[in-house]
Amino acid sequence: MKKITLSIIAIALAGATWAQTVDRSVKPKPGPAPEIKLGKNESFTLPNGLQVFVVENHKLPTIAASIEFSIKPELQGDMTGYRDMMSELLLSGTTTRSKDKLNEEIDQMGANINVSDEGISGGGLKKYTEKILDLMADITMNTVISQDELDKTKKKTLSGLETQKSDPDAMVRNVSAIVNFGTNHPNGEVASEESVKKITLDRCNKYYKTYFRPNVAYMAIVGDVTVAEIKPLIEKYFSKWQRADVPEATYTIPALTANKLTKVAFAPRTGSVQSVVSVTYPVDLVPGAPDVIKARVANTILGGGSQGRLFTGIREKHGWGYGAYSGLQEDILGGYFNASGKFRNVVSDSALGAILDEMRLMQTDKVSDTTLQNTITYLSGGFAIGLEDPKRVAQYAINIERYHMPKDFYQNYLKNLAAVTGDDVMEMSKKYIRPDHANIVVAGSKEEVANKLALFSADGKIDYYDYSGKSIQPSEAKTVPAGMTADAVYKNYVAAIGGEKAMNSLKSIKMVCNTEIQDMALAITIIKTSAGQFKEAVEMNKMVLQKQVFDGKKGYQEAQGQKKEMTAEEIAETKEQTDLQSDLHPEKYGIKRTLTGIETIEGADAYVVDAVDGKGKKTTEYYDVKSSLKVRDVKFEKGEDGTVSGKSSDYSDYRDVPGGNGYKIPYFFSIPGPGVNLNLKVQSVELNKEIPASEFN
């Protein structure tokens, strides 16, 4: 089971007379902030309550439409996860169009229509305006969610949750939601396997029929249209949308003031060589509030990019990581702050301390004029570029009405941004950057990192959570029996899968596995021979999607009609992969193993063994204490950004292979896939059969 450009334009204002009259030692003063024009903006309201905003933008012959619901829905409770599934379920088809027909009509226009639990958007060429509105109205009013589509979406969601179990970013995101907002708040509801399995068709339909109503909806149309053109079309397609009373739930809003002291929440992750660290907490900051622009400047100075204090401190000063950043998000239900980064185990506590120190310095060290002006310039540029996106402009129109913002909030954005002072930054820092009243959330190695973080907790304790934010009691470290070594663990494993006699009898193996990805049923065939030949083919409906072939000397990979010859390094890796007896002579590949302890895997004790090959590549292996069988391995790889991540594979359902003299393989195993872990079930295994040479052409 082995490794199956705005460009930056420099305008030289040169000239002899100009150069002689300008004193270059005097810093020029910033010019006045430009006036923002969002385009002609008109609005009207349909009798059913739908509020419509039309923003003219005649630069391109396109339109963008969006509908957003201002709702406070009931909590998802024991069926948490169904709201996230709405983006797929609401494109299941309508009373007038099947799912295939809906997709066909969208594709024929080259348009896009997207749906979520809080709205729908669409866009495309102006000539398709009526058709786009027709489709949006149909989805908004007439969607039919079938049990079959729900089952498919639940299955896909569960597959994604399986990946979250070993994804440190997802762990931190989920735990942060729980500790910041609690489970009695919509921002604190996190889906789990149990909650997704409980989701019913009735619950999904109830949500759609209850909250998708015109009297709580805001619609924005941006593009090459006028009110005179668009109003009749909106009346035609949306006037039949029936209004209804929409209930507003009340939530237990978390304490948004700094009343509690800092706590540490830790999500143990098997085999981590680095930690994902986040300092986070809820904040009382809503869209359009007077503090929003000033607070945004403060956060950008702290960690809004590669010029932020966090980034320069963590990466350039200390070299503890490839970067650290912060974010400050306003939200009508409760905003939040977070400062985060990824750090090696040995420096995780030091990097966390540095993040907290930089947050404290924001409250005491006044920002320099140069840094302040650079930050304002950076944010001004980002805002101006954003105005090129019609969807962004549409969102601004909705925001103003939905959040009761000042009508000129966006027109005056750059002017108000340019007016921010150093004193404003310090005031915002004291108000919104709170290192001593925070949740420190970390996902990583419990054994190497957790205990070193206790000093950051006000009460000296660490709270533990699983991947979904559920509170857990971590297992205590167990002592390895006297005399037990890595060599002994490995020898027991070899014996458990059949021993030398069974493995030495292997001449060839052909294995066929089934799996699913994005609702596609796939068959994976793997062939290995004692002559060092190898083939892996992925098929769908008997059509080969991709394959890898090695004839013992050379090989290639092929996908989507593109063929790539194996490199020397890939050939070396494949030779080890095809060695049917590789488990009997690890020294041939420079593999050295070290027994590091015992951990609990899926409720059972397992020996933890670190294996490093001759090239320095590390894999952490887990062997069940009772059966001696390998139940998991985590392969560590360095990404393009330099960070190291571990890819985990699990193995179970070991069985004797027919005709294998006691040779065992796992008939169920998971391997890292594109965004999800692929669960493979072995359908058939053939040993020592004649394999035609043509298989490896």
For 476-492, what is each residue's pLDDT tens digit?
Answer: 768 899 999 999 999 99
Q: pLDDT of 604-623, one tens digit each?
A: 999 999 999 988 889 999 99
Q: Is the pLDDT of residue 17 over 70?
A: no
pLDDT at residue 642, rounded to an integer: 63
Q: Tell me, what's the pLDDT at 37?
A: 65
Which band of pLDDT confidence, cut at 50, 70 and 90, is reported for residue 427?
Answer: very high
> Would you state the pLDDT for residue 521?
87
Which sequence spans correspond to the domains of the chain? 41-168+181-238, 263-464, 486-696
User: Closest Cα partner for 609 from 497, 487, 479, 482?
Assistant: 487
Identify the band that residue 8 occupies on the pLDDT scale cut at 50, 70 and 90.
very low
pLDDT value of residue 15: 32
pLDDT at 576: 85
What CATH number has the domain spanning 41-168+181-238?
3.30.830.10
The pLDDT confidence band at residue 34, using thresholds 50, 70 and 90, is low
Burial class (CB in 10 A: 0-12, 13-18, 19+), 257: exposed
pLDDT at 311 over 80: yes
What are the φ/ψ torsions at residue 537 (nearest 5 degrees)? -130, 135
Query: Looking at residue 675, what is its pLDDT?
Result: 60
**pLDDT given for residue 640 in this prediction:** 64
More confident residue, 675 or 486: 486
Percentage of residues in the chain having pLDDT higher than 70: 91
Region 311-323 average pLDDT:
87
> Cβ neighbours of residue 680 under 8 Å, at least 6 residues apart?
513, 514, 515, 524, 668, 669, 670, 671
pTM: 0.81
What is the pLDDT at residue 391?
72
Q: What confidence score (pLDDT) does residue 603 get?
A: 82
Q: What is the pLDDT of residue 19?
A: 36
Beta-strand runs (E) in 467-586: 508-517, 520-529, 534-540, 543-550, 555-559, 562-565
| Pairing assessment for the beta strands 543-550 and 534-540 based on DSSP bridges | antiparallel
Closest CA to 179 of 117, 249, 260: 260
Cα separation, 124 vs 351, in Å, equals 47
The answer to whether 137 touches 120, Cβ cutoff 8 Å, is: no
pLDDT of 255 reads: 64
Please report the pLDDT score of residue 35 as a whole number.
61
pLDDT higher at 75 or 39: 75
Task: Say if 41-168+181-238 and 486-696 have the same CATH topology.
Answer: no
Q: Above 50 in pLDDT, residue 10?
A: no
Query: 3-state SS of the chain: helix, strand, coil percent to 5?
Result: 35, 30, 35
CA pair distance 633, 300, nearest whole angstrom: 40
pLDDT of residue 26 exceeding 50? no
Q: Mind listing the pLDDT tens digit for each residue in 624-646?
A: 999 999 999 988 877 666 666 67
| CATH of the domain spanning 263-464, picked from 3.30.830.10, 3.40.50.300, 3.90.226.10, 3.40.1390.10 | 3.30.830.10
- What's the average model confidence in pLDDT over 652-680? 87
Token duo for residue 607: 């020996």
Task: Give the highest mean pLDDT range of 148-162, 184-198, 250-264, 539-553.
Answer: 184-198
Say which CATH superfamily domain 486-696 falls into.
Lipoprotein localisation LolA/LolB/LppX (2.50.20.10)
